[in-house]
């Protein structure tokens, strides 16, 4: 049954709409436009290279054959943000496609520790920040803020030995000890986790903020009472394991077990000697050495406004606590890092002066020089500022973290940091550092390559062709009907078969003399120094003919320079000078290459092959353009290849009358 005309028209309309949706018309139009351009270029190139006319028709035929393939591919595939993919059906645009687009919408995930700051603010120069904070550094921080920070420091002081208990017990378990020892070590690790949970519960940041009237002494009493039983358990298991090691004659675990026992005992002493800070508003603040350190650091980490902001390597661990330093060193060394340590900021800077580090783990609260001051000096030093810095601090507040990031730190992590998390942060920062280094090297290489390309493009290439190459053209061909060409060929070289190095050095010197000579003569429009010959050209136009006089001066300067370097060198070259059409071609890909050819260049080469050693022969067209001051000697009529017979003249030297 025949289809109704209306059905046919409806089908054509639907097909046209589907083609528009799939962007078929755009692809087809682009292909047609590109094909027209290719055909025009092929015609010009074929005419310039004297190719037969059927080559252009072949290109046109191939482009016509490719049109249906382009339409089919445009109908099936589409290019989007995700690359090349199949075009979705029309009925799926409102269903699965939209669902997929919604699922691709990024979701904001909060940072686990502190919010990030914009790179522009995180990378501000330390000198600007120092000017901004000079006035604030001299003012005393809020007493309540000191109290909260001091309690956070207390939490850190208690967590430090607990972290040692957990860290050493986990490393011992990783070494797969005997069965009973493994069970006791697991109990020690569980006791450490229980201690950590008790400390976090008693000194919870939210609980401290709500108990603003409670002083530190009451916290100390509660900590000392609650921690005694689990600490005693940990010490007991350590002593049992140490005794078992001695009876079995083993020493592999003894040192680490002693460290665990020492950490457990120091935990009791620390819980009974907590920093005391008055919590009553308006009362005089009583500080010990530890709270004085906290107060001094907080004066530098002044509050900032809220902002809606979004192994392999050498490391330096800076911490005043020997247990922390030793534990971090052991943990990081297990991941393959080379680790050095320093007990304060001053010692860290001294080590960084002597040795380069990829990353620094910098504690905030330290005597002599705290982490904030050390960070400022690192980022202010031109030699050190590229070193990545991760701040480790017991001051668990956003303002301090943001301020350290503004000073140039890459990360701000609250102590104690889980080993896996810290190692992941270190690895990520080292990867970023590696990418930055690679980017810098690539930028330097790109700048060097660009300078080389600019030198190749601008030296001896016509200005109009160089401008088109800089604009992005990969192939540039230009023709000058009125031009003149000087062609110099190498006649003979008195080197043996084994003297290749001398031959190459001789050619390099000759090319250098030719280029140097060209720079001393104004108006040389194009220059090519290749393996088969040296070519120079002057380009004329409708208003001014080409200058063969300049090419004659170039030839004289070249031969005089060779003679000054080696009296025998000029006799190894012959030259020819002719006027006629010249074609220049510049191919930018895959590597830059510039060539001169055409009737003037070919004839000049044929004449050069007829010339006497060390001489330049001139054709009649070139002679007619020479100035009268140029001396010439008649050498008679010669057969010049396809050009037939010509009366040639020899170019005289500068002293000729």
pLDDT one-digit tens code per residue, 449-494: 777 666 655 556 787 887 787 777 888 899 989 899 999 988 766 6
Is residue 127 predicted with pLDDT exceeding 60? no
Q: How far apart are the first and last CA of the chain?
A: 101
The predicted pLDDT at position 444 comes to 83
Give the pLDDT score at 1.
43
Domain boundary among 58, 82, 106: 82
Residue 228 lies in a domain: yes
Residue 538: count of CB within 10 angstroms of its CB: 27
Contacts of 529 (CB under 8 A, 6+ apart): 460, 511, 514, 515, 535
pLDDT at 386: 86
Of residues 301 and 443, which shows the higher confidence score? 443
Q: How far is CA 79 from the centre of its chain?
A: 27
- Position 147 pLDDT exceeds 80: no
Non-local CB neighbours of 71 within 8 Å, separated by 6+ positions: 24, 27, 28
630 vs 217, more confident:
630
Q: Which of 571, 582, 657 is nearest to 621 (CA)?
A: 582
Confidence at residue 391, expressed as pLDDT on a 0 to 100 scale: 92
Alpha helices by DSSP H, 77-178:
96-103, 119-122, 126-137, 143-174
3-state secondary structure of 308: coil
The reported pTM is 0.39
**Mean pLDDT calculated for residue range 389-413:** 85
Are 288 and 315 in the same domain?
Answer: no
Is the same domain home to 410 and 469? no
Q: Which pLDDT band holds residue 95 (cuts at 50, 70, 90)? A: very low
How large is the average pLDDT for residues 158-173?
85
Kindly state whether residue 138 falls inside one of the protein's structural domains. no
In a shared domain, residues 338 and 292: no
Quickly count: other Cβ atoms within 10 Å of residue 412's Cβ.
24
Domain assignment present for residue 175? The answer is yes
Q: Do 270 and 323 reside in the same domain of the chain? A: no
Residue 585 banded pLDDT, cuts 50, 70, 90:
confident
Q: pLDDT grade, residue 655 (50/70/90)?
A: low
Q: Output Rg (C-alpha) for the chain, integer angstroms.
A: 41
In angstroms, the CA 422 to CA 386 distance is: 20
For residue 593, list its beta bridge partners: 587
What are the structure tokens assigned to 110, written together? 């909060």
Distance in angstroms (rounded) separating the CA atoms of residues 177 and 182: 6
- 541 in the same domain as 514: yes
CB within 8 Å of 541: residues ≥ 6 apart: 480, 482
Burial (CB count <10 Å: 0-12, 13-18, 19+), residue 531: exposed
Please give the C-alpha separations between residue 104 and each of 79, 82, 99, 100, 448, in angstroms, as whole numbers.
Answer: 17, 11, 9, 6, 41
Identify the weakest region by mean pLDDT among 51-60, 205-214, 256-265: 205-214
Average pLDDT over residues 202-230: 66
645 within a domain of the structure (yes/no): yes
Region 317-333 average pLDDT: 89
Residue 561 lies in a domain: yes
CA distance 179 to 165: 20
pLDDT surpasses 80 at 606: yes
Q: At residue 437, does pLDDT exceed 80?
A: yes
647 closest CA partner among 607, 601, 599: 607
Q: In this structure, is residue 134 part of a structural domain?
A: no
Task: Tell me the pLDDT band of 106, cut-offs 50, 70 and 90.
Answer: very low
Residue 215 pLDDT > 80: no
- In this prediction, residue 42 carries a pLDDT of 83
pLDDT (mean) for 353-367? 91
Mark whether 569 and 430 lie in a shared domain: no
SS3 for 645? strand
The answer on pLDDT for 576 being more than 90 is: yes
Regarding whether 343 and 274 lie in a shared domain, the answer is no
Query: Which residue, of 36, 59, 82, is where some domain finishes?
Result: 82
Residue 38: which domain range? 16-82
Query: How do beta strands 77-80 and 83-86 pair?
Result: antiparallel
Q: Is 170 a domain residue? A: yes
38-47, 459-468, 617-626, range with greatest mean pLDDT? 617-626
Which of 69-78, 308-317, 599-608, 639-648 has the lowest average pLDDT? 308-317
Tell me, yes or no, whether 262 and 374 share the same domain.
no
* 396 belongs to a structural domain: yes
CATH number, domain of 554, equals 3.30.70.1230
User: Average pLDDT, whole number, for the chain?
Assistant: 76
**316 and 293 inside one domain:** no
Cβ-count burial of 411 within 10 angstroms (0-12 exposed, 13-18 middle, 19+ buried)? buried
The backbone torsions φ and ψ at residue 357, rounded to the nearest 5 degrees and listed phi first, read -120, 150
Write down the pLDDT at residue 65.
Answer: 84
Averaged over 339-347, what is the pLDDT?
A: 92
**Reported confidence tier of residue 121, pLDDT bands at 50, 70, 90:** very low
Last residue in a domain, options 63, 82, 101: 82
Phi/psi for 413 (5° steps) reads -120, 140
The SS3 assignment for 657 reads coil
pLDDT digit string, tens, across residues 32-41:
888 888 888 8
Please give the pLDDT value at position 374. 93
Q: Give the CATH number for residue 314.
A: 3.40.50.2300
Q: What is the average pLDDT across 315-331?
A: 89
How many CB atoms sit inside 10 A of residue 304's CB?
A: 13
How many domains is the chain partitioned into structurally? 4
Rounded to an integer, the average pLDDT of 486-512 is 73
Closest Cα partner for 545 from 602, 487, 484? 484
Per-residue pLDDT band at 229 (split at 50, 70, 90): confident
Inform me whether the pLDDT recorded for 129 exceeds 50.
no
Residue 277 confidence (pLDDT): 34
pLDDT tens digit string along 235-290? 888 888 988 888 888 888 888 888 898 888 888 777 655 433 333 333 333 334 54
Mean pLDDT of 5-24: 74
Whether residue 625 sits in one domain with residue 486: yes
* Same-domain pairing of 641 and 522: yes
What's the residue count for the chain?
657
User: Prior bond to 288 cis, omega within 30?
Assistant: no
Who has greater pLDDT, 448 or 604? Answer: 604
Based on the fold, state whether residues 161 and 229 are members of the same structural domain: yes
- Residue 510 makes CB contacts below 8 A (sequence gap 6+) with 490, 534, 562, 569, 573
Which CATH number fits the domain that encloses residue 200?
1.20.140
Residue 335, Cβ density class (10 Å: 0-12 exposed, 13-18 middle, ≥19 buried): middle
Most confident of 41-55, 83-97, 261-275, 351-365: 351-365
For 100, half-sphere exposure in the C-beta direction (CA atoms, 13 angstrom radius) is 8
Q: Which of 92-101, 246-255, 346-355, 442-451 has the highest mean pLDDT?
A: 346-355
DSSP states along 529-543 = E-SS-EEEEEE--SS
Q: Which residue has the tokens 């050390």?
A: 374
Helix (H, G, I), strand (E, B) or coil at 391: strand
Task: Read off the pLDDT band of 14 (50, 70, 90).
Answer: confident
Report the percent of the chain where pLDDT is more than 90: 12
């Amino acid at each position: 049954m025949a289809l109704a005309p209306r059905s046919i028209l409806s089908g054509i309309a639907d097909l046209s709409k589907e083609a528009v949706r799939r962007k078929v018309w755009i692809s087809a139009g682009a292909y047609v436009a590109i094909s027209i351009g290719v055909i025009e270029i092929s015609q010009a190139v074929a005419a310039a290279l004297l190719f037969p006319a059927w080559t252009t028709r072949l290109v046109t035929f191939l482009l016509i054959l490719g049109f249906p393939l382009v339409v089919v591919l445009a109908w099936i595939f589409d290019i989007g943000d995700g690359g090349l993919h199949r075009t979705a059906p029309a009925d799926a645009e409102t269903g699965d496609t939209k669902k997929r687009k919604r699922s691709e919408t990024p979701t904001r995930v909060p940072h686990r520790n502190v919010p990030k700051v914009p790179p522009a603010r995180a990378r501000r120069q330390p000198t600007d920040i120092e000017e901004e904070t000079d006035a604030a550094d001299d003012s005393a921080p809020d007493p309540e803020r000191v109290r909260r920070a001091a309690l956070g420091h207390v939490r850190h002081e208690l967590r430090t030995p607990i972290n040692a208990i957990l860290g050493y017990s986990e490393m011992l378990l990783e070494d797969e000890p005997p069965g009973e020892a493994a069970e006791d070590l697991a109990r020690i690790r569980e006791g450490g986790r229980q201690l950590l949970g008790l400390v976090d519960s008693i000194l919870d940041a939210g609980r401290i903020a709500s108990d603003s009237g409670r002083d530190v002494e009451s916290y100390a009493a509660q900590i000392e009472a609650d921690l005694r039983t689990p600490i005693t358990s940990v010490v007991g298991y350590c002593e049992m394991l140490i005794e078992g090691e001695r009876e079995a004659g083993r020493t592999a675990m003894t040192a680490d077990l002693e460290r665990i026992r020492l950490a457990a005992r120091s935990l009791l002493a620390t819980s009974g000697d907590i920093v005391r800070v008055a919590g009553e508003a308006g009362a005089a603040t009583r500080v010990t050495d530890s709270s004085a350190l906290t107060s001094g650091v907080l004066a530098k980490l002044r509050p900032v406004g809220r902002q809606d902001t979004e192994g392999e390597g050498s490391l330096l661990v800076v911490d005043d606590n020997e247990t922390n330093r030793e534990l971090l060193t052991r943990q990081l060394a297990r991941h393959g890092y080379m680790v050095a340590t320093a007990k304060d900021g001053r010692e860290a800077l001294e080590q960084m002066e002597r040795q380069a580090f990829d990353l620094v783990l910098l504690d905030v609260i330290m005597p002599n020089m705290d982490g904030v001051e050390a960070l400022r000096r690192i980022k202010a030093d031109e030699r050190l500022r590229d070193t990545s810095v991760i701040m480790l601090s017991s001051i668990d507040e956003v303002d301090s973290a943001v301020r350290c990031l503004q000073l140039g730190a890459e990360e701000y992590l609250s102590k104690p940091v889980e080993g896996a998390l810290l190692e992941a942060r270190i690895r990520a920062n080292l990867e970023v550092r590696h990418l930055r280094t690679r980017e810098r090297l690539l930028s330097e290489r790109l700048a060097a390559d660009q300078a080389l390309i600019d030198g190749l493009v601008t030296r001896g290439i016509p200005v109009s062709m160089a401008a088109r190459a800089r604009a992005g053209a990969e192939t540039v061909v230009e023709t000058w009907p009125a031009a003149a060409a000087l062609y110099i060929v190498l006649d003979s070289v008195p080197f043996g078969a084994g003297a290749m190095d001398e031959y190459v050095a001789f050619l390099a010197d000759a090319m250098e003399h030719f280029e140097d000579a060209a720079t001393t003569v104004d108006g040389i429009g194009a220059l090519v120094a290749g393996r088969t010959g040296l070519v120079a050209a002057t380009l004329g136009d409708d208003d001014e003919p080409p200058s063969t006089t300049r090419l004659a001066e170039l030839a004289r300067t070249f031969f005089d320079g060779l003679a000054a370097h080696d009296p025998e060198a000029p006799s190894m070259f012959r030259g020819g000078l002719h006027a006629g059409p010249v074609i220049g071609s510049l191919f930018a890909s895959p590597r830059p290459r510039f060539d001169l050819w055409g009737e003037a260049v070919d004839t000049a080469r044929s004449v050069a092959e007829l010339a006497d050693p060390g001489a330049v022969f001139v054709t009649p067209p070139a002679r007619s353009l020479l100035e009268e001051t140029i001396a010439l000697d008649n050498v008679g009529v010669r057969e010049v290849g396809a050009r037939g017979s010509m009366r040639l003249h020899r170019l005289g030297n500068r002293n000729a009358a």
